[in-house]
Amino acid sequence: MSNRKYISISFNDEVPMLQAVRKLRDSNETILDVLSPFPVHGLDDALSIKRSRIPVGGFIFGALGAILAFGFQAWVFTIDYPLIIGGKPYFSIPTFIPITFEVTVLFGGLSMVAAFLIRSKLKPEIEFESFDERITDDLFVILIDSGEEKTTVESIKATLSGIQTIKINEHTNG
């Protein structure tokens, strides 16, 4: 990421931002990222981002949690420490279900959070310099790679004529 040049285009609203994304992709610009305060419908399609595989991980870890919880209880109540509770048999499935369910949800949830943090390379010591404080509040921003000579602030302005932007800035090494 050394000496990388990029251009930021800021919008007040998601509708012109979506239009701009479509136009920029039509004119073959490289969009590095889009920052938005909330998920925008249709943005993933416009950027042709593939669906996240996090649900698959969540399912696998959830299934693992279910097997672990059920197996552990079955082992404890039949082999390791059998107790008669309320006159029920040692191996009684209905008593295992609530805990199995809870552990499934716990494993599924935590594994998805962990998978998200790892895949997005987010960790405590990460440093972030924001070029505009509003991007954490209500600003929609498109970041474009300007490494190639042909992409300049002027050319972007020409491409996006007619779309309401707030400002278009050039940055180096964000």
Interface size with another protein, residues (CB under 8 A): 11
Give CA torsion, residues 132, 133, 135, 139, to 10 deg: -90
Sign of CA dihedral 161, 164, 170, 173: negative
Interacting span for another protein (CB under 8 A) from 93-101, 107-115, 130-138, 156-164: 93-101
When asked if residue 162 is in the footprint of another protein (CB under 8 A), the reply is no
- Within 10 angstroms of residue 18's Cβ, the number of other Cβ atoms is 21
Cβ-based nearer residue to another protein, 63 or 158: 63
Least distance to another protein, CB of residue 41, Å: 5
When asked if residue 110 is in the footprint of another protein (CB under 8 A), the reply is no
Cβ-based nearer residue to another protein, 86 or 124: 86
Per 3-state DSSP, the chain is made up of helix, strand and coil in percentages (nearest 5) of 45, 15, 40
When asked if residue 42 is in the footprint of another protein (CB under 8 A), the reply is yes
Least distance to another protein, CB of residue 95, Å: 8
For 116, phi then psi, to 5°, come to -65, -45
Least distance to another protein, CB of residue 18, Å: 11
> Which of 3, 28, 83, 86 is the binder for another protein (CB under 8 A)?
86
Least distance to another protein, CB of residue 109, Å: 16
Distance of alpha carbon 102 from alpha carbon 71, whole angstroms = 14
When asked if residue 87 is in the footprint of another protein (CB under 8 A), the reply is yes
HEC assignment per residue over 32-93: EEEECCCCCCCHHHHCCCCCCCHHHHHHHHHHHHHHHHHHHHHHHHHHHCCCCCCCCCCCCH
Residues engaged in binding another protein (CB under 8 A): 41-42, 51, 55, 59, 86-87, 94-95, 97-98
